[in-house]
Structure 1
Amino acid sequence: MTSLIAQWLHITQDLNSALTRQARFDTLLTTIREVLNCDSSALLLYEDQHFKPLAINGLATEVLGRRFSIEQHPRLEAIARAGDIVRFPSDSDLPDPYDGLIPNHDDKLHVHSCIGLPLLIDDQLIGAITIDAFDPNQFDSLRNQELRFISALAAGGLHTALLLEQLETQASLPRESYAEKRTLSNEIIGNSSGMKALQEQIDAVADTELSVLVMGETGVGKELVASAIHHRSSRANKTLVYLNCAALPESVAESELFGHIKGAFTGAISNRKGKFEQADGGTLFLDEVGELSLELQAKLLRALQYGDIQRVGDDRHIRVNTRIVAATNRILHQEVTAGRFRADLYHRLSVFPLHVPPLREREGDVVLLAGFFAEQLRSKLGLNSIRFSPSLIHALREYAWPGNVRELEHVIKRAGVLAKARTHALDIELVEQDFDIKHPTSSVQGEQVVAPSSAFQLSEHGLKEATDLFQTNLILEVLEQNQGNWAATARQLELDNGNLHRLAKRLGIK
């Protein structure tokens, strides 16, 4: 015990030296692996009933992108609830969240040593450390007192790192509101230099009143950026209202933005608030703002300039305190030059422009995002684990991803459904044959949709399963063609929008 404490006191100096936060976490896990002689370890942050990996050692890189719900992972739930060191029996039948995720090992970890160290500050759970070994007796000689010492040291280090982050990025906010600002619902996955720079810019502008213009290709996650801006601002406890300008019929666009009064036009049977009023005190996200007509652009400009609106059919002015975050995949200054977008509105919206980099420029992030989507899909399909073959990881890194993050999400969903049908197992490995990323989109010849090359053979499945697979493939392909727009997908498939959503839920797409 004394020698172990001496080792860890030495490590404490390294953890508190002038290293980056990530370097401290990596140093901690490297030391754990060396001192405890384990095959893998992970440092996890606890938030929103989920464990989020902050650092890993001996695990596949994709684990950093996964978010483990304690409701769906009984081992992690046991660690979260215990309040003390948890030792899992080597013959435990509880599934391990890292099954199949230790590289270069074919063993599915059914027999191994596993220990969970909850990280507590003032009896509040802030995270955990997990350590695993293939030898079922690897940790028998370790005493709980020694492990509690490691747990206390790690908890202190994690707590200090979180407080420093809070001081750096949320200094103007009350401490109790900080946990609400960074939740899984508005988390942006990515450790690339481009995404780190974007995160810093979001933190800089979030708690101001400036209008923000989010730019980037289709599918890069502009809506997620808008959500992050709202939830990191002082308006976080107010409403975030979403409006897709590209889906606005011209006849109702003004009413959608500003509302109308009873009798303003045929069908206006009552007074109705527009999006500006609905977002009063909060944030209005105008997606695809470049699609607005010039006439509506002029009315939007007035609302931004004077902070008041007029409902359709009403002479009265209504004061609103609404922050605008707009997004576009167009190059707006070129649209201004072409006369399709007002220069004065462009300058009003782009007070603080943000560029979201395409996935092909986010080195390494594709693996993290793949892990994130795989964990979501695992739950929806009722699987124990989803993992990626090494050759598939290489292919994912090499592919250009013209549809960006949205395309990645869709192809993983499709691949997961196909792999489950192919293997009929609860532990599946996705391989290149489950993907169609050499030719990412279907071609359309007339009205006939050409199925992807990864499509199943009918003879391999029963009728119902084959039908479900065909419907899943077709919906995902058409959804991808329509940039994730469900209403447009329903129209192309000649389905009622509500029926399409219900079918997508049954198939596990949603």
Structure 2
Amino acid sequence: MTASTPLIQVLLPLIDDLARELPEAERYRRLLDALFSLMPCDAIALLKLEGDQLVPLAAIGLSADVLGRRFQIADHPRFAALLQARGATRFAADCGLADPYDGLVACHSGYLEVHDCLGCPLFIDDRPWGLLTLDSLDPARFGQIALENLEAVARLAAATVKAGERMSSLARRVEDEHELAERFREVAGMAQRIELIGQSEAMARLLGEIRLVSESDLTVLITGETGVGKELVAQSIHAQSSRARRPLISLNCAALPETLVESELFGHVRGAFSGAVGERSGKFELADGGTLFLDEVGEMPLPIQAKLLRVLQSGQLQRVGSDREHRVDVRVLAATNRDLADEVRAGRFRADLYHRLSVYPLHVPPLRERGRDVLLLAGNFLEHNRPRLRVDSLRLSAEAQAALLGYEWPGNVRELEHLIGRACLKALARHPQRPKILSLTAADLDLPAAMPTVLPVAAVHEMPLMPLRDATDAYQRQLISTALERHSGNWAATARALGLDRANLNRLAVRLGIK
């Protein structure tokens, strides 16, 4: 501990925080700020144990993408050793175990290998909750720290975590049935880890809406561009709902020929059509009591839309080739990257079905509107690729991080996932021998440079002088036209990209002569 910072001066605010209602992220940040001033180190992190992986909740001195990583314990022997210990553990500088943070600790000259590592498990109600880790680039740094002092600090950290979790639990009004479903899945070993990664305001709003709508049985229409994660949102809604113990059945409406969609949805009886050699239950019957997710619902043929509407309204269906009614209890979640309101106006989608599906519309923001979430997601994908490439550490250079932040991501999260996979292979190909730490450069990502947000000074001087109103109109006309071209003529997507209400954009486009 540093002589310049009295222990009591640091601990008193933390003790006060135990009785204060704070957002979890802020509580953890204050905790690490205090510990960082007490412990001479280059990096410190708080990780939570979730099943067979460790999830970083807060970190100081580590690369920004660390908070998006999910460390599988089986892949990281140092983390496994820390979790098995009851107290603090210091790893020798010549320890042969790979360090999970190699290449991720920031210093003035970049990101280097870790040389000194110290960690302590956190226990809540005598059960392992997670880890507190400290790292230094100086191999002798932690020789001056008494391990019992770190253990005492770890107990205070555990108390801070426990207080935060209890306050969060009280703040969440979870229905009894929902809680019972969660316990059922845990006991039966059926819990599926569904996580939407992100800390941006856009993601915070989305997660709040998911929690809200999950408590109801409303039909939800999930909209958003291709690759934003609409199916993951549907899985999250189902997992948090009272139907979680029942099945979630998915159907991609665009992946089937029109002749098979009805049979897939409602089932068929023997002899209903050529090839129907026996009875078959449809997706609705398979999802009885649970949730049916209709992906790309905008691709559904018009004749099938009428039959789907009937099931949504009455809960009754008929298998193809049968007159017998079957009653089902199914919650429907639908997703589309189309503007269904436009499809209704064009006569390609039934208005009554559109209104029945969009009882609760839920828009998933594109990646370009999520700010630094791109780094968290990149970190998550890097950690997935690391064991596949058999390297100890995968990291992003500063230039690569800047390239990720400057790109507009027309393919969104799916594009990012594929790009990271390709970039890892490109980076590996540059090394004749497999390196311990593999760094991805901007060249490995091969992203186009970001468009300038302002006109160069020379271009401004070359512009003809005109009244300010005319110049503003000309700039708006150019900006809207460029955005419209980038979004393939989709006015709804253009309005979202420009941060405008669609009706306001339509009026502006008419005034400017674009529409």
Which residue is 1:44 aligned to?
A: 47
Q: Is the 8 A contact 1:15 1:24 kept in 2?
A: no
Instruction: Say whether residues 1:86 and 2:100 are aligned partners.
Output: no
Which residue is 1:109 aligned to?
A: 113
- Residue correspondence of structure 1 range 77-476 to structure 2 within 5 A: 77-104=80-107, 105-106=109-110, 108-109=112-113, 112-169=115-172, 171-172=174-175, 173-174=178-179, 177=182, 185-423=193-431, 424-426=433-435, 427-438=437-448
Amino acid at match of 1:425: R
- Residue correspondence of structure 1 range 481-492 to structure 2 within 5 A: none
> Deviation of residue 37 (structure 1)?
1.4
> Deviation of residue 237 (structure 1)?
1.5
Q: State the distance in 1 between where 2:106 and 2:285 align.
A: 53
Q: Which moved more, 1:165-174 or 1:205-214?
A: 165-174
- Which of 49, 63, 66 aligns to 1:63? It is 66
Q: Which moved more, 1:330-339 or 1:2-11?
A: 2-11
- Which of 33, 43, 52 aligns to 2:36? It is 33
> Deviation of residue 184 (structure 1)?
7.2
Instruction: Give the count of matched residue pairs.
Output: 439
**SS at 1:272 equivalent:** coil
Amino acid at match of 2:216: T
**SS at 2:415 equivalent:** helix
Unaligned segments of structure 2, at least 5 residues: 451-515
Q: State the distance in 1 between where 2:408 and 2:9 align.
A: 50
**SS at 1:260 equivalent:** coil
> Deviation of residue 71 (structure 1)?
0.8
Change (3 A) 1:439 1:36: closer
Q: Is the 8 A contact 2:21 2:167 kept in 1?
A: no
Q: Is the 8 A contact 2:18 2:163 kept in 1?
A: no
> Deviation of residue 313 (structure 1)?
1.1
**SS at 1:242 equivalent:** strand
Q: State the distance in 2 between where 1:140 and 1:335 align.
A: 68
Q: Is the 8 A contact 1:281 1:321 kept in 2?
A: yes
Amino acid at match of 2:446: D
Amino acid at match of 1:328: T
**SS at 1:103 equivalent:** strand
Amino acid at match of 2:275: G
Unaligned segments of structure 1, at least 5 residues: 441-510
Change (3 A) 1:92 1:176: farther
Q: State the distance in 1 between where 2:328 and 2:179 align.
A: 26
Q: State the distance in 2 between where 1:184 and 1:57 align.
A: 30
Which residue is 1:451 aligned to?
A: none
Q: Which moved more, 1:4-13 or 1:148-157?
A: 4-13
Amino acid at match of 2:24: R
Amino acid at match of 2:330: T
Q: Is the 8 A contact 2:88 2:148 kept in 1?
A: no
| TM-score, normalising length: structure 1 | 0.82
**SS at 2:310 equivalent:** helix
Q: State the distance in 1 between where 2:385 and 2:354 align.
A: 39
Q: State the distance in 1 between where 2:379 and 2:25 align.
A: 19
**CA deviations over 1:307-363 (Å, ceiling 9, x no partner):** 121111111111111111100000111111111111111111111110001111111
> Deviation of residue 386 (structure 1)?
0.7
Which residue is 1:492 aligned to?
A: none
> Deviation of residue 429 (structure 1)?
0.5
> Deviation of residue 5 (structure 1)?
5.9
The structure that has the greater radius of gyration is 2
Q: State the distance in 1 between where 2:337 and 2:393 align.
A: 36
> Deviation of residue 14 (structure 1)?
3.7
**SS at 2:93 equivalent:** coil
**CA deviations over 1:389-442 (Å, ceiling 9, x no partner):** 1011101100010100110111110111111111242321111111232299xx
**SS at 1:273 equivalent:** coil
Amino acid at match of 2:182: S
CA RMSD, 1 decimal? 2.2
Runs of 4+ in 1 over 4 A off after TM superposition: 178-184
